[in-house]
Structure 1
């Protein structure tokens, strides 16, 4: 009888753990389904980038920085450039024509701004759901950060998540990627982190080793999920040398969005 009771207790604990894991993922998907709003949203986006190519005396660093204004609603997305930014763009374009090595921070940063990324930033739920659909769920853990009780959901990501070209994937020999999402008691995501590393070889002479990470912070604004900060780091070493890129995007929601609340509140 005692052995049976012990076995039943272990079984109950195991089942309870499984249900808890499943609940976390279910809560996240349910929350994302609710946060699909298209109401008016405006804010200032600051994009800062830095690219490094080569090493030692051959090292070349290219920096970028710009601020733009974003307006998004049911009619669509607008990106507004101030007169100051437009003036800087014109000045830098002229400098670039005179000297190809001229520092053009505004132009460099603007080159990295595109509609796909901006839409994912201002309406983050859809892209998060797509990411989860591609990922393989591992487990859920209760954690506490800054006095707030959170749940950490861990996933594995396939190579296809990063490399869409089937032919290129054929050259990759080793690859691993993880995806962590922190959610609150409502299932709202507060932040996420993607990490990957891989090695590949093409033909006889070309080799490459690559790694990277991206950490994202979320905020709930009315009935939509918004990325308010993302930090990205990527580097690779290949037959042709070393390359790295870092980028930080910070979104400041306009003060008139009176109903905005931090995710988790």
Structure 2
């Protein structure tokens, strides 16, 4: 009897350990809690965007592309523009004044750069934790990605994740969104993917169908989590026509010895 009890106890420990190791959501939250560093980080950000409005002969495509330097530490975040970028901005501003249809890729891309998105890229743990708190966990499973053993966590996302305005949410008649996060054995996120689609109607005449996706790749730099690449695609068709937007942000982390003088280099 004593031997059986001892065996049963060991079996219980084994199963309990297995369940603990398989709790990817807990592992992810613990990893994100550890990755809250604010040490110095220097990087080059390249952002490429494309917007399309209308179709066929009415189609208008607006492109954007720029590289900027980022410096982030416990004192705050700085966005540094090289002399070459500043020169392009001035040239494009003159062109725009002469012809409102002029192609101004540098200005278009810079208009899309904001502090909220930059902070989320360079200190990704906080925003990822908030995303998880809003999401509803579905399940996890073991997957193989290019020979690397990962765990895939699946979530559902509420409409509130995408639409803050309560009144606008009232016009949405159909909506679905999923959130996938791939983590390693330690719980560190490797990549994620958000997908959504929905339909809505306001009053009698206005209808809209929208869909989109965002893929993100992460990298651990010292004691912080950084987004090193994100790809976003959104499109909608409404009573007023067709609109789409795509964008790719790529972050190149500099070695520790790099500093803000890099901003003086030509693009």
TM-score normalized with structure 1 length: 0.90
Which position in structure 2 is the counterpart of 1:141? Answer: 141
Per-residue CA deviation, residues 157-209 of structure 1 (Å, 9 max, x unaligned), is 00000000000000000000000000000000000000000000000000000
Which position in structure 1 is the counterpart of 2:218? Answer: 218
SS of the residue corresponding to residue 23 of structure 2 reads: helix
CA contact (8 A) 1:21 1:140 kept: no
CA contact (8 A) 2:88 2:106 kept: yes
1:217 CA displacement? 0.1
1:256 CA displacement? 2.6
CA distance in 1, matches of 2:139, 2:103: 47
Number of corresponding residues: 245
Which position in structure 1 is the counterpart of 2:253? Answer: 253
1:257 CA displacement? 6.9
1:22 CA displacement? 6.6
1:23 CA displacement? 1.2
Equivalent residues in 2 for 1:40-79, closer than 5 Å: 40-79=40-79
> Which sections of structure 2, spanning at least 5 residues, go unmatched?
1-11, 259-267
Runs in 1 of length 4+ with deviation above 6 angstroms?
none
CA contact (8 A) 2:139 2:153 kept: yes
Which position in structure 2 is the counterpart of 1:27? Answer: 27
CA contact (8 A) 1:212 1:234 kept: yes
CA distance in 2, matches of 1:21, 1:255: 34
Which position in structure 2 is the counterpart of 1:166? Answer: 166
SS of the residue corresponding to residue 103 of structure 2 reads: coil
Which position in structure 2 is the counterpart of 1:122? Answer: 122
Instruction: Report the RMSD for the aligned CA atoms in angstroms.
Output: 1.7
Equivalent residues in 2 for 1:191-206, closer than 5 Å: 191-206=191-206
Specify which structure has the bigger relative contact order, considering alpha-carbon pairs within 8 angstroms and separated by 6 or more residues: 2
